[in-house]
Structure 1
Amino acid sequence: MAKLSIIVPVYNEQEAIPYFFDALELIHTNLSEYDFEYWFIDDGSSDHTIQILEELQTKSQAVNFIELSRNFGKESAMFAGLEQATGEYIAIMDVDLQDPPELLPEMLAGVVSGSWDTIGTRRVNRKNEPIIRSFFSILFYKIINKISDTHIVEGARDYRIMTRQMVDVILSMQEYNRFSKGIFAWVGFKQKYIEFQDVNRIAGKSSWSFWELIKYSFEGIVSFSQFPLIISFVLGILSFSVSIIFTIVLFIRHFIDPGAAINGWTSMVVIILMLAGIQLLSLGIIGRYIANIYLEVKKRPIYIARRIKRK
């Protein structure tokens, strides 16, 4: 019997876990030819999430969980689950049921057929999100697809099913700064996306703040594009060229009108502030890339597991 491993990162999701498990088990009744294996990854929750998982494990032989030593973030939690999964096919899902479980049979059938190595999902609307958050999300996809060689499907979710071969390739990428949406696209293979309408969370509230999403977006841009460095270089060339032009103008003016008074202090201050701003912007961009290099060369583990409970 083929096995489907389901990776579920959880962070303060004590309310949503029972609903999620019941919904997946209902889908399992229609996929009885497959053995389900659940891997819940507790990403340093401060509520009763770990107790709920322990209770769930006593009720089902299919439930396994990893308790991380602290909050490492969703990217690290997904990587931890992928490392432990033993199935021929591996799915990643959010526990809040915003990833519709009813899509699983279609996704699994497509991958099992051999036509696709992975089938992912994408939201076609954002009706349940604040307008400002939706605006910046759409803007992010437009920007990164303009400046990166790796195309990331707009509205793509982490919700997907992959073959063991694809997962092994992803696990071989041991980079510390992870942006999975980009990694899934970068590794290639035959990929397909299924569209679905946005749905509300079944319980609890999202742990993603607006600022965290902004930082995550910057991580994606730095991980999959060198364009910000090009911007820094171009700004440096432009500012240097302008300074050369001004030097020539002042030199010529000195010989044409030697007695001219030196004026224009306001414009001079503006120019100095502009050049200083360009320098600080360039240093900030370069510093962000250097920070990523710094984190990579330290070779710290992507996650630390306090407990791994396997049935």
Structure 2
Amino acid sequence: MKSLQILCPVFREEEIILEFHERLREAVRPLRERYSIAVTYALDPAPDRTEEILLALAERDPEVRVLVMSRRFGHQAALMAGIDTCQADALIMLDSDGQHPPELIPRLVEAWEGGSQIVQTMRRDGNETGFLKRSTSAMFYRLISRIGSIELQSGAADYRLLDRAVVQVIRDRLPETNIFLRGIVAWVGYRISFIEFEPLRRLKGASKYRPSVLVNFAIQGISSFSKTPLRLCTITGLFVAMLSMLAAAGQMAAYFLFGHSDVQGWASLMTFVSLLGGVQLFFMGILGEYLGQIFDEVKRRPRYLIRTDSAARPDASPGAAAQTVPGPSEHV
């Protein structure tokens, strides 16, 4: 019997996590005749009862595994924790807030059985999603597809199925510290199929994604898969340098031909200098983003630390659950 692992990142979902789990169990019930199914919850800790509820659930249900991070490492790190611990034939990842419908899982498995090694869901937002969020999301996907080294389909969500071969490639051969999984899944290739879905309303509560988190997510994606911003710095610098040389040549010609130079127009001069200073600072910021990426990579710090693993043996030595991913040749 083949195996499926379902991975759900969790952060502050004490109000809905049990309801989500029951809904998930019902959604995968038709698959149990052909597959052994395990559920992994990767939890970013928070001062609520989510950890307590999930650990109690894992004690009652042997199919449930809970990975509790030592601190909040973020959504992408939680997904990587599940990837690093996956031993199943296929890994299915979806959010635990109810917006990714678990009822779609049988369709993902069906596409995988048909030969797809990656089954990627495509989010189609309706009127329940605000206009600003829809427009900025569409702009991001268009931008990264135009200037990046990947073709990222508009609406690609972190709700997908990955074959064991793809999981092994991401886990063993892509040791990036600040990983952008949506881009990585598009970059690795393999046979891929797409399934559209309309996101549902959250079961309860509000989204934990602040605008600043989404902006950082977009910057991470662009800087991971595109060098165009750096080339833009070079092109703009050359353009401004050419304008400066033309202006200097004009001043010299005016001096030798007419015996004077134009010293008027201080307002326009200061405007140009201020504009040039702003452009320089902006491009220094772009360089800083890429330099920060390099800084994170060369330090080789682990993507995450696991404080508690409900699957750890009771007789394990202290600290055995504090697993890390220190480098490309080592994994959980």
Category of TM-score, reference length = shorter chain: over 0.9
- Tell which deviates more after alignment, 49-58 or 121-130: 121-130
Instruction: Report the Cα offset of residue 125 of structure 1.
Output: 2.1
Q: Tell me the distance in 1 between the aligned counterparts of 2:272 and 2:111.
A: 60
1:66 to 2:63 alignment? no
Query: 1:29 is matched with which residue?
Result: 29
Query: 1:304 is matched with which residue?
Result: 305
Aligned residues: CA RMSD: 1.3
Whether the 8 Å contact between 1:127 and 1:198 is mirrored in structure 2 is no
Whether the 8 Å contact between 2:28 and 2:103 is mirrored in structure 1 is no
5 Å-filtered alignment, 1:51-90, equals 51-90=52-91
- The superposition leaves residues 36-59 of structure 1 with CA deviations (integer Å, 9 ceiling, x where unpaired) of 111101112221110110121122
- The superposition leaves residues 212-254 of structure 1 with CA deviations (integer Å, 9 ceiling, x where unpaired) of 1011101100001001001111110010000000000000000
Q: Tell me the distance in 2 between the aligned counterparts of 1:119 and 1:249.
A: 61
- The superposition leaves residues 154-191 of structure 1 with CA deviations (integer Å, 9 ceiling, x where unpaired) of 11111111110000001121101111100010011011
Query: 1:179 is matched with which residue?
Result: 180
Change (3 A) 1:261 1:186: closer
> Helix, strand or coil: the match of 1:175?
coil
Query: 1:129 is matched with which residue?
Result: 129
5 Å-filtered alignment, 1:265-276, equals 265-276=266-277
Q: Tell me the distance in 2 between the aligned counterparts of 1:25 and 1:125.
A: 26
Instruction: Report the Cα offset of residue 260 of structure 1.
Output: 5.3
Instruction: Report the Cα offset of residue 280 of structure 1.
Output: 1.2
Compute the TM-score of the two structures, normalised by the length of structure 2. 0.91
- Tell which deviates more after alignment, 280-289 or 233-242: 280-289
Q: Tell me the distance in 2 between the aligned counterparts of 1:29 and 1:74.
A: 27
Instruction: Report the Cα offset of residue 299 of structure 1.
Output: 0.4
Q: Tell me the distance in 1 between the aligned counterparts of 2:144 and 2:28.
A: 37
Instruction: Report the Cα offset of residue 261 of structure 1.
Output: 5.6
5 Å-filtered alignment, 1:154-173, equals 154-172=154-172, 173=174
Change (3 A) 1:254 1:121: same
Q: Tell me the distance in 2 between the aligned counterparts of 1:249 and 1:271.
A: 16
Q: Tell me the distance in 1 between the aligned counterparts of 2:214 and 2:84.
A: 25
Query: 2:320 is matched with which residue?
Result: none
1:280 to 2:317 alignment? no
Amino acid at match of 2:189: G
5 Å-filtered alignment, 1:40-119, equals 40-113=41-114, 115-119=115-119
5 Å-filtered alignment, 1:254-269, equals 254-259=255-260, 262-269=263-270
Query: 1:206 is matched with which residue?
Result: 207
- Seq. identity, %: 31
Instruction: Report the Cα offset of residue 296 of structure 1.
Output: 0.6
Query: 1:148 is matched with which residue?
Result: 148
Compute the TM-score of the two structures, normalised by the length of structure 1. 0.97
5 Å-filtered alignment, 1:219-258, equals 219-258=220-259
Whether the 8 Å contact between 2:122 and 2:195 is mirrored in structure 1 is yes
Query: 1:8 is matched with which residue?
Result: 8
Q: Tell me the distance in 1 between the aligned counterparts of 2:217 and 2:259.
A: 57
Instruction: Report the Cα offset of residue 29 of structure 1.
Output: 2.0
Q: Tell me the distance in 1 between the aligned counterparts of 2:284 and 2:192.
A: 38
Whether the 8 Å contact between 1:120 and 1:156 is mirrored in structure 2 is yes
Q: Tell me the distance in 2 between the aligned counterparts of 1:133 and 1:71.
A: 25
> Helix, strand or coil: the match of 1:310?
coil
Q: What are the ranges of 5 or more consecutive residues in structure 2 without an aligned counterpart? A: 313-332
> Helix, strand or coil: the match of 1:23?
helix
Q: Tell me the distance in 2 between the aligned counterparts of 1:57 and 1:305.
A: 16
Q: Tell me the distance in 2 between the aligned counterparts of 1:153 and 1:161.
A: 16
Amino acid at match of 2:40: W
- Tell which deviates more after alignment, 176-185 or 255-264: 255-264
Whether the 8 Å contact between 1:39 and 1:85 is mirrored in structure 2 is no
Query: 2:17 is matched with which residue?
Result: 17
Q: Tell me the distance in 2 between the aligned counterparts of 1:91 and 1:212.
A: 24
Q: Tell me the distance in 2 between the aligned counterparts of 1:178 and 1:65.
A: 22
Aligned length: 310
Instruction: Report the Cα offset of residue 112 of structure 1.
Output: 2.4
> Helix, strand or coil: the match of 2:162?
strand
Q: Tell me the distance in 1 between the aligned counterparts of 2:126 and 2:11.
A: 22
Whether the 8 Å contact between 1:91 and 1:161 is mirrored in structure 2 is yes
Q: Displaced runs of 4+ in structure 1, greater than 6 A?
A: none
